[in-house]
Chain A
Amino acid sequence: AQSVTQPDIHITVSEGASLELRCNYSYGATPYLFWYVQSPGQGLQLLLKYFSGDTLVQGIKGFEAEFKRSQSSFNLRKPSVHWSDAAEYFCAVGAWASSASKIIFGSGTRLSIRP
């Protein structure tokens, strides 16, 4: 069965510092992978997605993620965080093999920014 693990519940980084949020997935075939961001009381915004091709994916707001099949990982990175990046980040895996397609979300990582 598909599953997503985000091992870090809460991360605090200083503004201007680099960021890496970890994500590991479990899926039998080549997965569709996503990173979403959620601000408090808001819906989810898609940061980036990986379906195939180049394993380094560029997203919005300066984020990127790298798909590593050997490690079953899809970690999210940003070279320099801004205070506005404070939010909840969700990694997700999806399968679009049929009309029963759906996304499975990880438990989320809350990012706090230290001034």
Chain B
Amino acid sequence: GAVVSQHPSWVICKSGTSVKIECRSLDFQATTMFWYRQFPKQSLMLMATSNEGSKATYEQGVEKDKFLINHASLTLSTLTVTSAHPEDSSFYICSAKGGLSTDTQYFGPGTRLTVL
């Protein structure tokens, strides 16, 4: 139980285009979902926290107009990187909290974004 999936697992796009990444909790209802960014050989940096049906809370320094987060249901959250640029290239990981253990985050496998 407590499986989180992400789609796509990797994506390559041209500079200036937008990319949507999906995060799904497959076997539990996620009351809260988190989006992280991880640069090579570095730790995870929290970008934003989203609760189903409400606006996401962004961490300081994260542009909310560039990284659009939607948490429309208890099993799905999406991150859209708008007008992507090469510096947005990174590994994006989502996590979800809920289900049997409401105090533990379960992580998705991550999405590798490369912006050319």
Chain A residues close to B by CB (< 8 Å): 32, 34, 36, 41-46, 49, 51, 90, 94, 96, 99-108, 110
Contacts and interface: CB of A to CB of B under 8 A. Distances in A.
A50 to B, nearest CB: 11
A103 B110 contact: no
Contact of B103 (A90, A96, A106): A96
B5 to A, nearest CB: 10
Contacts of A36: 107
Interface in B17-54: 32, 34, 41-44, 46, 49, 51
Contact of A102 (B4, B34, B104, B107): B34
A13 B95 CA distance: 31
Given A49-B103, A103-B46, A103-B105, 11 more contacts: A42-B110, A43-B4, A43-B6, A44-B95, A94-B103, A94-B105, A96-B103, A99-B32, A99-B51, A108-B42, A108-B43
